[in-house]
Amino acid sequence: MTKRKASMPIFIGFAIVIGIFIGSTFNYKNQSVLFSSNTNEAKIKRLINYIQYDYVDKVNTDSLLDDAITNMLVKLDPHSVYIPKEELKRVTESMEGKFVGIGVSFLMHEDSVVVTGVIKGGPSEKAGIQEGDRIIIAGKDTLFGKSIIAKANLDEKEIGTILGSRKISDAVMKSLKGEPETTVNIFVYRRSVDEILQIPIARGEVSIKSVSSYYMINETLGYINIDRFARTTYDEFKIGLDELISKGMTSLVLDLRGNPGGFMDIANSIIDEFLEDGKLIVFTKNKNGDVD
């Protein structure tokens, strides 16, 4: 197969550490070994049972177990991570490069949800949502004050913590997301007009860009920033690369700062744009020494 290559050196001005998103299955020939019963497993079960039945305060043992697993993996290497079940959907959407919702980014300010960004071409932009709007009601859900704390099922210890913020964010997203073409009535407070506005929004598929920017630094030097290696990243990258080449680019700064990784095949496709056919890009070696 013949591919047009970008015949230029790549200048990467930053140290890059790329974690590769492996997926939900383990690379074990015998998975029964991974989940076999042993004394360490029994020790963990006894500890959890003890906490459940004898600890003086009420404790969420699921949360404790998630923290324990996270700390175990920290001892391995920077790229081994644990994704709890409730976060898996969000991670999957990010890596697939799309989700169904209203197409806004937001943060919690004091006790309300503030729109910090409106995705171009998304349902919210079409409906008239603006940056700075405060979402106070979505459908039947009140999203400010004590109501959002109750909806997120926070206890007093979690208020103001990272875990508490994550739970509130999940609760807000649950109210905003839904099935395609379903309508959610949003009530927002818009400070510029000092009014509460009712805006119906038809949920739709929203693209999450992974190539956040690309441009010419000077007459010959181009710049591309890649946030993560999602399923759509290569196509986004190729669009930017071709446009920069058409503008006279001969050298490229490829910015991967903060990139947590992603799909290995997508990263390989991007690297392949700069190498001759048949060049080895990457190989893996497992614990048994098998090379792939």
Of 87, 43, 41, residue with least CA distance to 63: 87
Instruction: Determine which helix (DSSP H) or strand (DSSP E) holds 212, and give its type and residue range.
Output: strand 211-216
Give the per-residue pLDDT at 17. Answer: 34
For 77-94, what is each residue's pLDDT tens digit? 887 888 887 778 778 888
Please check the confidence at residue 153 and state whether its pLDDT lies above 50: yes
Q: Can you tell me the distance from the alpha carbon of 237 to that of 225, in angstroms, rounded to the nearest whole number?
A: 9
Confidence bin at 67 (pLDDT 50/70/90)? confident
Residues near 224 by beta carbon (within 8 Å), at least 6 away in sequence:
211, 213, 214, 237, 240, 241, 244, 252, 253, 254, 255
Give the per-residue pLDDT at 217. Answer: 96
Please check the confidence at residue 222 and state whether its pLDDT lies above 80: yes
Mean pLDDT for 178-186 is: 91
CATH numeric code, 99-207: 2.30.42.10
Q: 259: which DSSP letter? A: -
Which has more pLDDT, 119 or 90? Answer: 119
pTM of the prediction?
Answer: 0.64
Give the per-residue pLDDT at 171. Answer: 85
Provide the residue ranges of all domains of the chain, joining segments of one domain with +. Answer: 10-14+208-272, 38-87, 99-207
Give the per-residue pLDDT at 146. Answer: 75
Please check the confidence at residue 115 and state whether its pLDDT lies above 70: yes
Q: Is 222 helix (H, G, I), strand (E, B) or coil?
A: strand
What Cα–Cα distance (Å) separates residue 220 from each residue in 9, 200, 270, 271, 272? 12, 47, 20, 20, 21
Q: Which segment, 10-24, 31-45, 75-89, is predicted with the most confidence on average? A: 75-89
Q: Can you tell me the distance from the alpha carbon of 88 to that of 253, in angstroms, rounded to the nearest whole number?
A: 32
Give the per-residue pLDDT at 131. Answer: 94
Residue with tokens 């591919």: 3
Mean pLDDT for 43-50 is: 86
Give the per-residue pLDDT at 60. Answer: 81
Please check the confidence at residue 8 and state whether its pLDDT lies above 70: no
Please check the confidence at residue 148 and state whether its pLDDT lies above 80: no
What Cα–Cα distance (Å) separates residue 188 from each residue in 134, 169, 183, 194? 5, 17, 16, 10
Q: Is 100 helix (H, G, I), strand (E, B) or coil?
A: strand
Q: Which residues are 190's β-sheet partners?
A: 195
Residues near 115 by beta carbon (within 8 Å), at least 6 away in sequence:
104, 105, 106, 124, 129, 130, 131, 132, 133, 134, 135, 188
Q: What is the dihedral of CA 82, 84, 90, 92, to 10 degrees?
A: 60
For 120-130, what is each residue's pLDDT tens digit? 889 999 999 99
Mean pLDDT for 65-75 is: 85
For 235-270, what is each residue's pLDDT tens digit? 999 999 999 999 999 999 999 998 988 899 999 999
| Radius of gyration in angstroms for the set of CA atoms belonging to the chain, rounded to a whole number | 24
Q: Average model confidence (pLDDT) for the chain?
A: 82
Q: What percent of the chain has pLDDT over 90?
A: 36
Residues 285, 288, 292: CA angle, nearest 5 degrees = 30
259: left (phi over 0), alpha (psi -120 to 50) or beta: beta
